[in-house]
């Protein structure tokens, strides 16, 4: 019954649209021959769903005609815009049909459930399904869609266990943060007193920060595990013994006083570094009059004896009054230092490595779910957004992206080109792994398979004039458009995820 009701309502809607079509076409063109031709493009097929109804309602030129008369393409797009507006004007009726579709799906799921489960389980499931159905019939609840998507990807939180904290869980503190990469828990007090679990967004622990901060250097093995270092008194030193199976050591250091220093290489303001009692680096603070916001520190690559007992000593000196007047010095700051055996990649090699690894790809389904989340997030600001236009041009070169990527902490749909970014970063010194759109730290890069497919289709059919694609709030699809807009890459980095589409 429900299936017949749905088919009848879809057919009624299709016929109403067909009757309205001459009026819609007449708003765009007054050419009688064109009007007759465009009316013939309307597909006279019975749809089985709202999505199929929408796709069949849009007019499409025959490829042969499109090549002979390219001027018709703009007219077709204008007609399709009005058809889309017609759907928007009848949104309530469409939502009712969507709810019937969901009821049909629920009924089918219930039938499968009755075969696979026992009577008691069936009874409980039926009650839940009825409750859900009543709620959805009353209102098309997009928040439930949000929860379904979140449950697909978000892991259930477990009881925090700080066994990987730098105190080895020997201390008890109430404030705890979770690393978004390794998912290990840490005491805020063991990191630094400046951290607050209510303010830390996208927290990345010192271990993961040191490990992933430069993707041009792949970590082969850990020579010196990350250890903390904090100056106390006039002079503070810390010595670590190690043995390396390589003659080149990659030494990295971060400072935990603020998110910027905690994500970039930051050595003590005033101090020295020794390997086997030989000074290999001296740290000099910035002058008070320096125009630099932060000293441009780099990781250290040094040579050590292979397979021999070695020592690393870090030394930080307290400044005198004269030095404090002349230089910008932060004293008694918590640092984390580690040393690794690494393998260096060129930009070309790193591109091949990232593209060939399946873990770096966001599938088409995941990309669609991500878009649903972000479209709703923008709508939750109080502004009803009908559609969003995404550029297919890279913000770094204003040319078509080759491999569209975002960082794992990026909350925007817009991507940038992997090739352009890595080639630019290879020439930078020091390297700042930051998103060129939202400035979030790029510990890992993800390739958007949906935008990658769109770009491949554009190249395959030589549609290089299509520089944007549009995402409609009421739809399950994306479509390419030629609308030229001023590029704006200062996209907000949204934190809270709610869903609506």
Domain of residue 421: give its range.
348-481
> Considering the chain, what is the average pLDDT of its residues?
78
pLDDT over threshold 70, residue 482: no
What does the pLDDT read at residue 145?
60
Do 58 and 10 sit in the same domain of this protein? Answer: yes
In a domain, 156, yes or no: no
Tally of residues, the chain: 501
At 249, is the pLDDT very low, low, confident or very high (cuts 50, 70, 90)?
Answer: very high
pLDDT digits (tens, 9 = 90+) for 280-333: 999 988 888 788 878 888 999 999 999 899 999 998 887 777 777 888 887 778
Residues in a beta bridge with 190 = none
Q: Nearest Cα to 479, choosing from 129, 83, 71?
A: 83
What 3-state class would DSSP assign to 189?
Answer: helix
Do 422 and 386 sit in the same domain of this protein? Answer: yes
Do 78 and 99 sit in the same domain of this protein? Answer: no
pLDDT over threshold 50, residue 51: yes
CATH number of the domain enclosing 240: 2.60.120.780
What does the pLDDT read at residue 116?
67
Distance between first and last Cα of the chain? 28
pLDDT digits (tens, 9 = 90+) for 399-413: 999 999 999 888 889
Query: Apex CA 495: angle with CA 492 and CA 501, to 5°?
Result: 80
Q: Give dist(CA 443, CA 435) in Å, integer.
A: 10
Instruction: For residue 457, give both structure tokens.
Output: 């289709």
**Of 344, 372, 403, which residue sits at a domain end?**
344
* CB contact at 8 A, 261 and 344: no
Do 333 and 384 sit in the same domain of this protein? Answer: no
What does the pLDDT read at residue 158?
59
In a domain, 41, yes or no: yes
pLDDT over threshold 90, residue 346: yes
Helix (H) or strand (E) holding 207: helix 206-212
Instruction: For residue 23, give both structure tokens.
Output: 């009026």
Query: Apex CA 149: angle with CA 148 and CA 151, to 5°?
Result: 65
Q: Give dist(CA 294, CA 233) in Å, integer.
A: 25
In a domain, 7, yes or no: yes
Residues in a beta bridge with 327 = 287
Helix (H) or strand (E) holding 180: none
Do 397 and 461 sit in the same domain of this protein? Answer: yes
Considering only the C-alpha atoms of the chain, give the largest distance between any 2 of them, rounded to a whole number of Å.
Answer: 91
In a domain, 152, yes or no: no
* CB contact at 8 A, 391 and 487: yes
State the residue for tokens 């069949």: 56
Average pLDDT of the segment spanning 432-445: 90
pLDDT over threshold 70, residue 126: no
pTM across the whole model: 0.61
* CB contact at 8 A, 409 and 441: yes
Report the 10 Å Cβ neighbour count for 348: 12
State the residue for tokens 């089985």: 48
**HEC readout, 304-353:** CCCCCEEEEEEEEECCCHHHHHHEECCCCCEEEEEEEEEEECCHHHHHHH
pLDDT over threshold 70, residue 397: yes
Instruction: For residue 296, give both structure tokens.
Output: 């441009």
Q: At a CB cut-off of 8 Å and minimum separation 6, what does 381 contact?
A: none
Query: Apex CA 210: angle with CA 333 and CA 240, to 5°?
Result: 70
In a domain, 111, yes or no: yes
Do 247 and 269 sit in the same domain of this protein? Answer: yes
Average pLDDT of the segment spanning 360-384: 75
Report the 10 Å Cβ neighbour count for 72: 17
61 φ, ψ (degrees, to nearest 5): -75, 145
pLDDT over threshold 50, residue 355: yes
pLDDT over threshold 90, residue 251: yes
Based on the structure, what is the number of domains in the chain? 4
In a domain, 107, yes or no: yes
In a domain, 81, yes or no: yes
In a domain, 175, yes or no: no
CATH number of the domain enclosing 462: 3.30.40.10
What 3-state class would DSSP assign to 280?
Answer: strand
**Of 316, 344, 372, which residue sits at a domain end?**
344
**HEC readout, 432-477:** CCECCCCCCECCCEEEEHHHHHHHHHHHHCCCCCCCEEEEECCCCC
**Of 89, 104, 130, which residue sits at a domain end?**
89
Average pLDDT of the segment spanning 349-354: 94
Do 21 and 107 sit in the same domain of this protein? Answer: no
What does the pLDDT read at residue 233?
63
């Amino acid at each position: 019954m429900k299936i017949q009701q749905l088919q009848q309502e879809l057919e009624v809607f299709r016929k109403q649209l067909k009757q309205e079509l001459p009026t819609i076409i007449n708003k765009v063109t007054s050419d009688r021959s064109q009007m007759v031709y465009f009316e013939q493009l309307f597909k006279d097929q019975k749809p089985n769903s709202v999505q199929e109804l929408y796709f069949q309602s849009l007019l499409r030129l025959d490829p042969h005609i499109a090549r002979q008369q390219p001027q018709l393409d703009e007219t077709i797009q204008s007609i399709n815009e009005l058809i889309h507006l017609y759907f928007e004007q009848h949104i309530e009726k469409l939502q009712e049909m969507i709810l019937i579709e969901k009821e049909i799906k629920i009924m089918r799921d219930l039938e499968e459930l009755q075969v696979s489960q026992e009577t008691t389980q069936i009874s409980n499931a039926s009650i839940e399904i009825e409750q859900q159905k009543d709620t959805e019939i009353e209102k098309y609840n997009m928040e439930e869609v949000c929860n379904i998507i979140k449950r697909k990807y978000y892991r259930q939180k477990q009881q925090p266990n700080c066994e990987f904290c730098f105190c080895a869980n020997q201390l008890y503190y109430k404030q705890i943060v979770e690393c978004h990469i390794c998912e290990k828990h840490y005491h805020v007090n063991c990191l630094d007193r400046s951290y607050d679990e209510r303010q830390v967004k996208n927290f990345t622990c010192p271990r993961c920060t040191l490990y992933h901060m430069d993707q041009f250097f792949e970590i082969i093995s850990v020579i010196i595990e990350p250890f903390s270092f904090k100056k106390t008194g006039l002079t503070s030193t810390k010595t670590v013994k190690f043995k390396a199976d390589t003659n080149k050591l990659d030494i990295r250091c971060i400072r935990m006083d603020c998110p910027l220093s905690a994500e970039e290489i930051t050595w003590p303001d005033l101090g020295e570094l020794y390997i086997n009692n030989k000074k290999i680096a001296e740290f000099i603070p910035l002058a008070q009059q320096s125009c630099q916001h932060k000293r441009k520190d780099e990781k250290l690559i040094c040579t050590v004896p292979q397979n021999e007992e070695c020592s690393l000593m870090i030394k930080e000196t307290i400044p005198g009054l004269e030095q404090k007047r002349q230089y910008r010095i932060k004293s008694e700051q918590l640092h984390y230092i580690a040393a690794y055996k690494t393998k260096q990649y060129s930009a070309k090699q790193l591109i091949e490595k990232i593209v060939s690894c399946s873990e770096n790809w966001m599938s088409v389904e995941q990309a669609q779910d991500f878009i649903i989340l972000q479209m709703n997030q923008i709508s939750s600001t109080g502004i009803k957004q009908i559609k969003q236009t995404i550029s297919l041009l890279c913000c770094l070169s204003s040319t078509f992206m080759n491999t569209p990527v975002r960082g794992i902490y990026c909350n925007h749909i817009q991507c940038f080109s992997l090739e352009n970014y890595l080639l630019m970063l290879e020439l930078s010194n020091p390297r700042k792994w930051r998103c060129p759109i939202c400035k979030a730290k790029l510990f890992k890069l993800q390739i958007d398979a949906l935008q990658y497919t769109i770009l491949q289709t554009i190249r395959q059919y030589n549609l290089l004039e299509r520089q944007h694609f549009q995402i409609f709030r009421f739809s399950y699809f994306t479509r390419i458009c030629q609308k030229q807009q001023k590029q704006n890459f200062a996209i907000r980095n949204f934190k809270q995820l709610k869903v609506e589409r």
